[in-house]
Amino acid sequence: MQVVNTRIPVALLGATGLVGQRLVAALEGHPNFALSCVAASARSVGRPYGEAVHWRLPGAIPTAAAKLVVEPCDPAHVKARLVFSAIDAEVAYDTEAGFAAAGRVVVSNARSHRMAPDVPLLIPEINATHLELIEQQRSTRGWGGFIVTNPNCSTIGLCLALAPLQASVGIESVIVTTLQAISGAGYPGVSAMDLLDNVVPFVPGEEAKIESEPKKIFGHISASGVASCALEISSQTHRVPVMDGHLLAISLRTRERISPQRARRLFEEYRAPGEIVALPSSPERLFRVASAEDRPQPRLDRNAGHGMTVTVGRLRSCPVLDLRFEALSHNTVRGAAGGTLLIAELLAARGLLP
Amino acid sequence: MQVVNTRIPVALLGATGLVGQRLVAALEGHPNFALSCVAASARSVGRPYGEAVHWRLPGAIPTAAAKLVVEPCDPAHVKARLVFSAIDAEVAYDTEAGFAAAGRVVVSNARSHRMAPDVPLLIPEINATHLELIEQQRSTRGWGGFIVTNPNCSTIGLCLALAPLQASVGIESVIVTTLQAISGAGYPGVSAMDLLDNVVPFVPGEEAKIESEPKKIFGHISASGVASCALEISSQTHRVPVMDGHLLAISLRTRERISPQRARRLFEEYRAPGEIVALPSSPERLFRVASAEDRPQPRLDRNAGHGMTVTVGRLRSCPVLDLRFEALSHNTVRGAAGGTLLIAELLAARGLLP
Amino acid sequence: MQVVNTRIPVALLGATGLVGQRLVAALEGHPNFALSCVAASARSVGRPYGEAVHWRLPGAIPTAAAKLVVEPCDPAHVKARLVFSAIDAEVAYDTEAGFAAAGRVVVSNARSHRMAPDVPLLIPEINATHLELIEQQRSTRGWGGFIVTNPNCSTIGLCLALAPLQASVGIESVIVTTLQAISGAGYPGVSAMDLLDNVVPFVPGEEAKIESEPKKIFGHISASGVASCALEISSQTHRVPVMDGHLLAISLRTRERISPQRARRLFEEYRAPGEIVALPSSPERLFRVASAEDRPQPRLDRNAGHGMTVTVGRLRSCPVLDLRFEALSHNTVRGAAGGTLLIAELLAARGLLP
Amino acid sequence: MQVVNTRIPVALLGATGLVGQRLVAALEGHPNFALSCVAASARSVGRPYGEAVHWRLPGAIPTAAAKLVVEPCDPAHVKARLVFSAIDAEVAYDTEAGFAAAGRVVVSNARSHRMAPDVPLLIPEINATHLELIEQQRSTRGWGGFIVTNPNCSTIGLCLALAPLQASVGIESVIVTTLQAISGAGYPGVSAMDLLDNVVPFVPGEEAKIESEPKKIFGHISASGVASCALEISSQTHRVPVMDGHLLAISLRTRERISPQRARRLFEEYRAPGEIVALPSSPERLFRVASAEDRPQPRLDRNAGHGMTVTVGRLRSCPVLDLRFEALSHNTVRGAAGGTLLIAELLAARGLLP
């Protein structure tokens, strides 16, 4: 079909993991991108993707992807100019740098490069201006390509839920308790013994990310990279027996005391920049305000806007800080595969792909 | 057996409900109390308890209790001087008042009388001094008996977790997010459809109790009843698929900034008053400090101290307030049946039973 | 839009229940049918559907349906000629008969009329010939309309899984153990306390249906209605904590001993009659044979063919009977809403709608 | 205390695994045995057990056990004459043989030696006579010690549920569908992603054991070991999200057609041999017949008889074979740790310990 020829070829590093699988599924039928190469660790190399992967998503493996032979995560074997990385943080640092050095554009889910001052940590609706860092990154590092990173899945939900408030009244401090889905831990990930008749008050590594990444995302570009914004965050993370959808219980203090009514209006009236709304993975509405007093709920609300919409609810005054509410976002769509696609779509729209 | 003859006969109102069942189970083999009468709503009256109850606890119904014929919740049919009430709040107000007027001592789990200024809302380790209200209550109301109330199950866990800090350094404000077990909603209670692959960010009626009851419990006796203490609490409640055990994620501000190390010592060195420790239902240690970074967990920790111990963990500085930590308590033992027994044991020890 | 004008108006009785909700969702955008009327019990009558229903499906209520005002389940208020019934069995008998008497075509999910000898109990792929009963039904009862019934959700999965074997080699006896999803019990349905860390070896009323309905479905038309086929079925039913998807562990004896290999080919080579395949709700393939040894699994396989495909797996010889295997079908799609639509589509295709 | 001095020292191989943990817990306070040595793989050797183990059971690690230093699984380091083995099957064959050759009595949970014709596969209530094999085993192999094995956890529940019927009327064939708890897979074992909103129709390796082990257990001693009994078994296994307790849906054909009433009496009137009843781990009653139509249920019934009682229910005629019913047994107590203890207690009672 003609259309296919015009789609941009994309390679996927770490294609056999759970985020990789979500990306494979999301790329099926994508209007701009065509999955042309899957790469993974040595164990899978040389096998057809359909055999190498232990597919954990409902539905069958996309037929075309199933036939791709798995390549090593090496620019010599991976020809595409646009590369999505879903590889483990342990190996991501060097591997992704290698691809960028080899002239490729890397959109990464790994945490390895997220906090580097010259690497955009991007949520397109919030800090598309941080793409200015790319020039700085390339010139400093002498790379032909560059790296853009997708934040942690909890960070994304939190920052989106804070964005309209931050833009209008400014936020001083946030206390957030997370109830996080198991898909965030990959497969096999969490043992069934740990989450049957149980919740676990700790998600390894998560709290440090939730407390630091938003400061960069809401930060401003300066000569030396991104300057962190002043925003104090305290998080207590929990793993709960939910497949997908991170729920956040948020209390916050704003610079000018905000009423729940005004906060509600900010969410309802929010419109993403036209440039973002035009992207294929952008939801029609970034926010949905639940009216029922027992919502948002992961099972019922996570797929709003094809998993790209954030649902907020229970907006009330907080007797200790100013405002409290609940926010839900889909951790493997908005928080991983969908967020990655949205970034790549923005790069394409801005003509930043080679 | 001789021992039995010296045990105090106890009647149980609302014996067929879930808290009632827990009390029936807890009274089996109790050294001080003997269950002599079970009462419930009209539907069950006249049937043997073993047939009237839809027993939902592991293990069989205690044999002696199973044979008791269910009586109506009326002092004319219920002879015991000591009465445990596990009836619904809708009918509890008048029914319990009727028993107190008829000279009975009522220890109640219902919320109806909890906030009355002359009714003790009692956690024996914290505010046993509030028993002084009994005289005030009897003289004001002209009752031969009196009512003492057991707080809400989440309130109990929260107040116990706050108690050593409140006593030593004083607490100004608390933000608490709850992850609550389903047994708190009774049977059938929550639909399985609401908690499979899901959590619900709302427990009806719970937040108002959590935010008001602690002010009374930590309050001081005055001429006109209990004077609320100054303590600002914000709660966001969640129902999670856990059978028993309410987990609380707590952040708080103390009057003098407290370090996690000092807080930990306060929990470790806490000893309940000797009078309380001597009661049969009192745990050996009121607090256990979990050392693993992923504890407390409901399934693994709820039964500490036969369900009467509170487990705390993850004591850390809070970048927004002062201190944050997790606390777990068994909602139907410490938070209901066990708490009720402990109150009654204290009344017996102080010679307050008729 | 022009297309809408040509769609057949459909009324839905019992629109607020869970099967009703599934039908409302399934009718959105249906090429042949347009939901023109929702009816329910007195409690909901007069309110907009969007307010009367406690919507339990992911996603929002279809906008057009949400605005419909709920009517009483009475032909005087419900004008559509085609009526889907998802009402409780207690009231279905008289209500549905009243609609048929009033000249309407009723496609029912209730059990009330299923076993009447002149009422088709229909699985279009299996016994479309039973539509011949309609004439018999109308003349015997003097009805202007008629009733066609959709079988029990477990029956549908079982009969479909047996159909290719029954057609080729004949089945003598079946032992089936079910692991059934909670959505089959409606909302609130099963208590969360019954299915957390638990399974229940009993689904009320289900075993009698599973053991009797297939005999009628596989039966032949005779002068006096349907003659049951000789097929002995034993079922042991279980409720398990799965949202959707009934899993069946089947052992059976065939008239001519069948090998697993031949059984597999029968499933793989099965093609539904062209008349059925052409219907909008018919899946591309009725059967999918899972190759992994741990499939079918409800979460991963229930949505095959948009929930209309039956997945079979683990085809093996049975050392006691002949053949054993696992079959999975979506209980609220194929087993309820989708099955109902398929029947109505067949009626439309055959020109049996008034 | 005097009593302690007379307890028999026991070593435990594989002490850090889940069955090992259950054995450590069960041995605390055991009247006959005292845990004197824990052994495990190289990773744990040299560390105190309390640090080496990732304790997954509710409650704390028994204090005395926590202080034991982990030894290698080698008779040179493990001095006790009585050895419980909970090690993985991969290494169990040689390790256990090594201990037996070194004069030790090994009671094993591993499958390695179970089917050897001269090794007792023991369920004390059923085939205590198989202990005669010990002499044969020792003389054939030239061992100073010997091995006795505990059957697979599902086998134990099945054989116990069949035993009274087999003894009275003889069983020809059995079709059993299992719903098995996750604790049977150890820790971390099953991924939470596989059992949230899901069941898995396959337990690796289980079906072969369920279909073969009972033939040996019900077999008779002959000159050449155990002669298998004629008993055809077909099993379909399922993993379900239950912590403990394997539920079995059983249909069977007896040699003389048995009524459900008679079967019920056989269970109710069953009394284990006096020699077995006298053992400390023997339950008061081996069987409990549930009267409610929705029992046995894992959560409510698994702990009957401290986890050593088998609960049966739903006894009904089977229209295909003769009799069908449900049976539940605790897989890690009766099916593992408790079964192992019972065997060792029998060996002690018979004077078979060195």
Whether residues C345 and C291 share a domain: the answer is no
Q: Average of pLDDT values for C78-96?
A: 95
Residue B220 pLDDT level (bands cut at 50, 70, 90): very high
Number of domains in chain B: 2
| Mode of pairing for the β-strands spanning D220-222 and C220-222 | unpaired
DSSP reduced 3-state for B12: strand
CB D15 within 8 A of CB D39: yes
Chain segment D287-311, per-residue pLDDT in tens: 999 989 999 999 999 999 999 999 9
User: Is C143's pLDDT higher than 50?
Assistant: yes
User: Is A114's pLDDT higher than 50?
Assistant: yes
CB C280 within 8 A of CB C344: no
Whether residues B93 and B122 share a domain: the answer is yes
Chain segment B333-350, per-residue pLDDT in tens: 999 999 999 999 999 999
Whether residues B93 and B79 share a domain: the answer is yes
Give the residue on D whose Cα is nearest the Cα of A192.
D192
Chain segment D132-162, per-residue pLDDT in tens: 999 999 999 999 999 999 999 999 999 999 9
- Say if D354 falls within a structural domain: no
Chain segment D165-176, per-residue pLDDT in tens: 999 999 999 999
pLDDT at A5: 57
Residues from B in contact with D at Cβ < 8 Å: 56-59, 196-197, 243, 299-304
Residues in chain C closer than 8 A to B243 (CB atoms): 193, 196-197
pLDDT at D225: 85
CB B211 within 8 A of CB A319: yes
pLDDT at D224: 83
- Say if D15 falls within a structural domain: yes
Q: Which helix (H) or strand (E) holds A124?
A: helix A124-127
Q: Which of B202, B251, B313 sits opposite A314 (nearest CB)?
A: B202
- Say if B239 falls within a structural domain: yes
Q: Please tell me the distance in Å from A38's CA to the nearest CA on chain D.
A: 24
| Mode of pairing for the β-strands spanning B232-236 and B171-179 | parallel
Whether residues B109 and B165 share a domain: the answer is no
User: Is B326's pLDDT higher than 50?
Assistant: yes
User: Is B237's pLDDT higher than 90?
Assistant: yes
Cβ-count burial D297-318 (b if 16+ within 10 Å, e if not): bbbbbbbbbebbbbbbbbbbeb
Whether residues C171 and C130 share a domain: the answer is no
Work out the mean pLDDT of chain B and round it to a whole number: 96
> Which one, of D253, D250, D86, D267, lies nearest residue D179 by Cα?
D250
Q: Which of D194, D197, D294 sits opposite C200 (nearest CB)?
A: D294
Chain segment C53-62, per-residue pLDDT in tens: 999 999 889 9
| Mode of pairing for the β-strands spanning D323-329 and D246-254 | antiparallel
Residue D3 pLDDT level (bands cut at 50, 70, 90): very low
Distance of CA B49 to the CA centre of its chain: 24
- Say if A226 falls within a structural domain: yes
CB A154 within 8 A of CB A178: yes
pLDDT at C303: 97
- CATH at residue B76: 3.40.50.720
Residues in chain D closer than 8 A to B300 (CB atoms): 56-58
Work out the mean pLDDT of chain A and round it to a whole number: 96
- Say if A354 falls within a structural domain: no
Beta-carbon separation of A195 and D192 below 8 A: yes
Residue A321 pLDDT level (bands cut at 50, 70, 90): very high
Residue D5 pLDDT level (bands cut at 50, 70, 90): low
Whether residues A256 and A283 share a domain: the answer is yes
Residues in chain C closer than 8 A to B191 (CB atoms): 187-192
Q: Which of B232, B233, B314 sits opposite A202 (nearest CB)?
A: B314
pLDDT at B4: 43
Residue B5 pLDDT level (bands cut at 50, 70, 90): low
Residue A3 pLDDT level (bands cut at 50, 70, 90): very low
Active site residue B153: yes
Q: Which residues contact B235 (CB under 8 A, 6 or more apart)?
A: B154, B175, B176, B177, B178, B206, B207, B210, B211
CB A222 within 8 A of CB A137: no
Q: To which residue do tokens 């209309």 refer?
A: C308
Q: Report how far apart, in Å, the C-alpha atoms of B213 and of each of A333, B114, B272, C164, D118 are.
A: 41, 8, 21, 65, 68
CA D287 – CA D274 distance, rounded (Å): 15
Residue D109 pLDDT level (bands cut at 50, 70, 90): very high
Whether residues D64 and D140 share a domain: the answer is yes
Q: Average of pLDDT values for B160-183?
A: 98
- CATH at residue C229: 3.30.360.10
Whether residues C130 and C274 share a domain: the answer is no
Work out the mean pLDDT of chain C and round it to a whole number: 96
ipTM of the complex: 0.95
> Which one, of A14, A33, A19, A27, lies nearest residue A72 by Cα?
A14
**Selected residue of B180, B183, B191, B198 to mutate for chain C interface (largest C Cβ count, 10 A):** B191
User: Is A38's pLDDT higher than 90?
Assistant: yes
pLDDT at D2: 40
- Say if C16 falls within a structural domain: yes
pLDDT at A1: 37
Identify the residue with better confidence: C280 or B256.
Answer: C280
Whether residues A267 and A243 share a domain: the answer is yes
Beta-carbon separation of B197 and A296 below 8 A: no
Give, as one character, the DSSP assignment of residue A321.
S
Residue D4 pLDDT level (bands cut at 50, 70, 90): very low
pLDDT at B225: 85
Beta-carbon separation of C300 and A197 below 8 A: no
Residue type for position B337: A
**Could you give the percent of chain A with pLDDT greater than 70?**
99
- Say if A145 falls within a structural domain: yes
Q: Which domain holds residue C227?
A: 153-330
Whether residues A320 and A191 share a domain: the answer is yes
Count CB neighbours of A224 within 10 A.
9
pLDDT at D323: 98
Residue B1 pLDDT level (bands cut at 50, 70, 90): very low
Residues in chain C closer than 8 A to A56 (CB atoms): 300
Between the two ends of chain A, the Cα-to-Cα distance in Å is 24
Whether residues C186 and C258 share a domain: the answer is yes
Chain segment A210-261, per-residue pLDDT in tens: 999 999 999 999 888 899 999 999 999 999 999 999 999 999 999 989 999 9
- Say if B172 falls within a structural domain: yes
DSSP reduced 3-state for D335: helix
Give the residue on B whose Cα is nearest the Cα of D193.
B197
Beta-carbon separation of C175 and D240 below 8 A: no
User: Is B2's pLDDT higher than 50?
Assistant: no
Whether residues A146 and A231 share a domain: the answer is no
Q: Which of A197, A232, A297 sits opposite B198 (nearest CB)?
A: A297
Beta-carbon separation of B249 and A238 below 8 A: yes
Beta-carbon separation of C320 and D199 below 8 A: no
CA D287 – CA D305 distance, rounded (Å): 9
CA A304 – CA A329 distance, rounded (Å): 9
Chain segment C236-259, per-residue pLDDT in tens: 999 999 999 999 999 999 998 999
CA B258 – CA B269 distance, rounded (Å): 16
Q: Average of pLDDT values for A193-205?
A: 97
Beta-carbon separation of D193 and A241 below 8 A: no
**Selected residue of A171, A173, A177 to mutate for chain B interface (largest B Cβ count, 10 A):** A177
